[in-house]
Amino acid sequence: MLPKRIALPIFASDPLSSVTYATQEILLILTLGGLAFLSLAPWVGLAVVVLLTVVVLSYRQVVQAYPSGGGSYEVASRNLGRPAGLVVAGALMVDYILTVAVSVAAGVDNIISALPDLNPYRVAINLGFVVLLTAMNLRGVRESGRAFAVPTYAFVVGVLVMIAVGLGRAIFGDAPVAESAGWHIHAEQTGLPALAVLFLVLRAFSSGCTALTGAEAISNGVPAFRRPKGLNAARTMTAMGVLSIVMFAGITVLALITNVHYTESACDLAGFPGNCATDAQRTVIAQIAAAVFGGDHTVAFYYMQAAAALILVLAANTAYNGFPLLASILAQDRYLPRQLHTRGDRLAFSNGIVLLAAVAGALIYAFDGSATRLIQLYIIGVFTSFTLCQAGMVRHWNRELAGATEPAQRRRMHWGRLINAFGACFTGVVLVVVLITKFTHGAYLVVIAIPVLCAMMRSIRRHYERVRAQLVIAGDEPETLPSRVHALVLVATLHKPTLRALSFARATRPDTLTALTVNIDDEETRALQRDWELHDIPVPLKVIESPYREITRPVVGHVKSLRKSSPRDVVCVYIPEYVVGRWWENLLHNQSALRLKGRLLFVPGVMVTSVPWQLDSSSRRARPRVEHTPGEIRRGITAGSPVRQASEVRVPGAG
């Protein structure tokens, strides 16, 4: 069980790390209209702070009402029905995927801000981090409290110190100045009418709402808290909200004090010193750190960038825990393929981890590792789950109030219902705003993806239900046995694998046994018949003609004719196959057998048996690796030596 000081960095690394790019996204949108619109940044930031406060208060109610840790999915499923739960599940899956993509991309942005020469390798570094996180999780590396606590608290302390030093310098008349303060901005839009200004502000607000990503993470981890779980989770939620608000507000204020200028393209900055087509801008938090701590070569600057990059990578790693677990729950409920419910040999949900990494990596590659472009997709899923969760909580309180009689208890429930109702309305309005302002900037992809995911999950569930109905054993259904078993051994050449298949088929004692070959070359067929007679094989050899030199169709046709003549009989087809040890050898062997098995499996009443023949290469692969102790080879002790073999003999009952 986790104490609050350890649970905070474990569950809050995602929302705390969001402050590294939330202010940046607000400034980026406002500068589309020119420098004058930066004066609106405090009001946009204030609206984000109010929204974050409402969400934190709302989820305090969730963690206390649902201490089982189901979070938004459980709340929506229980109170709004399965369809709403599936929408939340689809939104959360999209959210987890984008958490990996956005967090890794933002982390790499901060690395490049400290080491600009790495910019040409941005995408490769992004994908490298995804591969690293995937490999760690596939090997079962689990985060410990200390592993999360140290980087998270290092980042929080760094940001708070930066805010204190920057504000202190400003108060005492030595306001820090960002490197971009003297650069002018080429506004994309000028002379905007009032409606366009409103749209620009709303778009900036929706971009700033990235500060709320991951705010619901604590509600998914309530069971990990110490008792009383709900109360400790609620207090941790409050601490997370206070820290997020303080850091976000402080960074926003410092960005305005230092006069940071940041645009989507460096070519929109007049005075940018490098090549705007190839060089990257420093992130807003990097520019603030350089201005506050006295330059971009100070220890404090590199500390701030390292802490920011590390917490962002840790935030990405939280999705590697959340996504496979959610996919496992959905697979258990038969809304996703059952393979996603299976743990690997390291007790990790390996299939879910690989799926998450593949989709996140594809997004990073498609969007060139740009955090700004990926963020346009990020908010839809977040606020979809927020809104449905809060609406579900209103239904929850209505149901609880119907059975409550004590006045104090009813007052508490009324207060909780009021908070969640306001939260549902507020986040619902924000969801509409985000949809309108970001739809054409990439959010339409998420609008398409979530319904597609929901439809896919419902289809998978219907499929599993149909299969289950087909496989149920009826109480009065008699057990039927086949009248006879006809065995067919497919033969192309008379060699050792063929003899093994014939011997195996004879050992099963079928009612009839026939060797079957397809005549695609008259000379080879006659040679096979001569060899068959020469070796006196006690199994009749039947030759079927193939005018188009095809193997699969004549064999399938012959099997079907046997089934048609005796519908109550069973046909068992034995196919000799090579077992190889190198992957490329599979391309050279067994291709006809694979095609034939694929066709025969669709024929009712037909069983297909593969009879393996191990080639020499397979024995190398199966050979166990021998580990020598120090000095064994020098003393002449090898794997096959008597001394080594004697040392490997275990006495029964010995340890």
State yes or no: pLDDT of 403 exceeds 60.
Answer: yes
According to the model, what pLDDT value does residue 645 have?
45
For 366, the token pair is 């498609």
The set of long-range contacts for 583-591, using a CB threshold of 8 Å and a minimum separation of 24, is: 585/615, 585/617
126 vs 548 pLDDT, higher one: 126
Average confidence (pLDDT) over 242-258: 94
Strand partners, 13: none
State yes or no: pLDDT of 70 exceeds 80.
Answer: no
Q: For the chain, give the percent of residues with pLDDT over 70.
A: 90
State yes or no: pLDDT of 487 exceeds 90.
Answer: yes
pLDDT band at 214 (very low <50, low <70, confident <90, very high): confident
State yes or no: pLDDT of 145 exceeds 70.
Answer: no
Cα(490)–Cα(610) distance, rounded to whole angstroms?
11
Cα(644)–Cα(654) distance, rounded to whole angstroms?
18
Cα(603)–Cα(561) distance, rounded to whole angstroms?
11
According to the model, what pLDDT value does residue 648 have?
42
Average confidence (pLDDT) over 10-16: 84
State yes or no: pLDDT of 83 exceeds 70.
Answer: yes
State yes or no: pLDDT of 317 exceeds 70.
Answer: yes
Identify the weakest region by mean pLDDT among 193-197, 585-589, 622-626: 622-626
**Cα four-point dihedral sign 157, 158, 159, 163:** positive
According to the model, what pLDDT value does residue 655 have?
35
Residue partners of 105: CB distance under 8 A and separation at least 6: 126, 364, 367, 369, 370, 371, 374
pLDDT in tens, 588-604: 777 888 888 889 988 88
CA 90 to chain centre: 12
State yes or no: pLDDT of 264 exceeds 60.
Answer: yes
According to the model, what pLDDT value does residue 440 have?
83
State yes or no: pLDDT of 652 exceeds 60.
Answer: no
pTM of the entire predicted model: 0.78
Average confidence (pLDDT) over 432-445: 85
Average confidence (pLDDT) over 572-601: 84
